[in-house]
Structure 1
Amino acid sequence: MYVPNFDKYALSDGASTRSVKGRDILSYGIESIKSLYDLFEGARKKRAARGGYTTHAEQDLLRSMLVFSAATLDSVVKQVIRDQIPQIAKLPVTAQEEFRQYIVRHLSKGPQVNVDSLAASLAGADPRAHFIDAYVADLTGDSLQSKAQLLRAAAATGVNLGLQKADHDQLDKLFAARNQIIHELDYLTAKQKKKQRNRRNRGRDEVIKWSERLLGLAATFLKS
């Protein structure tokens, strides 16, 4: 049976970080996930569970672990964006190029561009600040629910995630699971049902490893 170590992803108070608030968010997330894990293990111990069978209540605890882990990553990434993008000139050249490309795309919208808003920003004391605010809003406007969004956030902040082929496959699977839980409650349609289960069954070890992976990514965004 796989035994997790969620605490290894926490950053100490004295550690260098891209975002102090983000570091605190990660700590809160880890504590919540540990509590859910303890509840899950406690429930199985109470009924002297053996093997891989889990009750509906235990499945909900596993689902909650994955959702909280994804929410922790989402919140950390957005905080790093809010703290780092205003200092775009200090970020890697690749991140600055992402910002430039954003401005190009924005100005290329043609008739869709709000002319009055654009004129006001260009005539203001700090036109760059206007585009930075718009860029931050664009990057943080939606919940983080796909690998593509994660990669875009990393590129925008100059974070090297160091992903390998296997990592890409894992991220696709875990984000798919995250979305199935949040948007569908893991409910199975008549065509998807297996045996008597009405909802997808999540494996203990897989969910725990996915949760650790999400916390690890959050820590990577924070480490400077």
Structure 2
Amino acid sequence: MSKLTVVEISDLPAKPRGGGDEIRRSWNRLVATHRSVSALFATLNELRAAQDDMRGPISEAHRDQARAAIVFTAAGIDACLSALLEDSLPTLLLSQGSAHNTFVAHYMKERFKDNKVTEATKKAVVSFDPRAALIELYVSDLTGPSIQSAKDLARCRDALGLQKDPALTTAILEAHQPFFNARHEVVHELDIVDAAGKGTRGRRHRDIAAVGDQCDGALQLLHDFVGPTARAVRQVRRLMGWSDS
């Protein structure tokens, strides 16, 4: 009996209704990431099925496919959440609520702390469109060069006003920390275990099935961000008397 490890990425749920332009870019980026990661694992499955002995050990070349999936998924997290914040916050911050409270708290505790205002903040305040500039600076603070931990996910969740969403509890977000640990090891350490050995160097063992589960879970989590954000945007639009788009 074959012991072939087959990894499949779950289909994404349907695109959330409403949300309009506020979720369009983030959704498109999520779909594109899902397609790329699914294709990587499909190729991996095909390569494994074509090898002479499917019961043999998984080669480093095959594990590199899984490592690539981690990198692709991480890039999708960055792209999707950055777009979601950039596009939805201008609408969400038009009404009082959790998103607006978190926005104000961030500036009061971080950028206006001890009356020490950075040049970037000053430029935002005196720009032609201060509100837009402050939101842009806020998103940069939230995402940085990349989203690298469960804590970063929680900051994005709070910024979107989704603290009470049952699919985005702190415990659920923290369950994805192993994915970010793997991302760090692959991207920043090249999966090297011992770079200063006696003429040898090892690489971390990557369990392909575990990597598949991590990537699959991360992609589904992104949907859990986009869906409630679309609902929140729709609610603000109704409060403002705007038509749904």
**TM score, norm. by length of structure 2:** 0.76
User: Which residue number in structure 2 is paired with residue 182 of structure 1?
Assistant: 187
Q: Residue 106 of structure 1 corresponds to which residue in structure 2?
A: 111
- Residue of structure 1 in register with 2:36 after alignment: 32
By how many angstroms is 1:192 displaced?
9.4
SS in 2 for 1:19: helix
Instruction: From the superposition, tell whether residues 108 and 39 of structure 1 become closer, same or farther in structure 2 (CA, over 3 Å).
Output: same
Counterpart CA distance in 2 for 1:52 and 1:11 is 38
Residues 144-159 of structure 1: pairs in structure 2 closer than 5 A: 144-159=147-162
CA–CA separation in structure 1 for the residues paired with 2:36 and 2:18: 24
Partners of 2:73 and 2:215 within 8 A in 1: yes
Does residue 16 of structure 1 match 2:50?
Answer: no
Residues 25 and 125 of structure 1: is their aligned pair in 2 closer, same or farther, counting only changes over 3 Å?
closer
CA distance in 2, matches of 1:84, 1:171: 24
Output the aligned Cα RMSD.
2.9
**Counterpart Cα distance in 1 of 2:177 and 2:96:** 27
Q: Which amino acid aligns with 2:147?
A: L
Structure 2: unaligned runs, 5 residues or longer: 231-245
CA apart distance, 1:142: 1.9
> Does the 8 Å contact 1:22/1:75 carry over to 2?
yes
Counterpart of 1:129 in 2: which secondary structure?
A: helix
CA distance in 2, matches of 1:187, 1:72: 24
For 1:63-142, what aligned pairs fall within 5 Å after superposition?
63-90=67-94, 93-104=97-108, 105-111=110-116, 113-114=118-119, 118=122, 122=125, 126-142=129-145
Q: Is the 8 A contact 2:77 2:222 kept in 1?
A: yes
Moved more, 167-176 or 207-216: 167-176
Q: 1:130 to 1:29 in 2, by over 3 A?
A: closer
Instruction: Give the AA of the match of 2:29.
Output: I
Tell whether the 8 Å contact from 2:89 to 2:160 is kept in structure 1 after alignment.
yes
Q: Distance in 2 between matches of 1:84 and 1:109?
A: 30
Secondary structure of 2:176's aligned partner: helix
- Unaligned 5+ residue runs, structure 1? none
Shift, 1:122, TM fit: 4.8
Q: Which amino acid aligns with 2:156?
A: A
Given that 1:91 and 1:158 are in contact with CA atoms closer than 8 Å, whether structure 2 keeps it comes out as no
Distance, in Å, in 1 between the alignment partners of 2:90 and 2:45 is: 43
SS at 1:142's partner residue? coil
Bigger relative contact order, structure 1 or 2 (CA pairs below 8 A, ≥6 apart): 1
What residue identity is the alignment partner of 1:45?
A: A
- Change in CA separation of 1:56 and 1:112 when aligned onto 2, cut-off 3 Å: same
Query: How many residues were matched structurally?
Result: 217
Using the alignment, how far apart are the partners of 1:92 and 1:4 within structure 2? 42
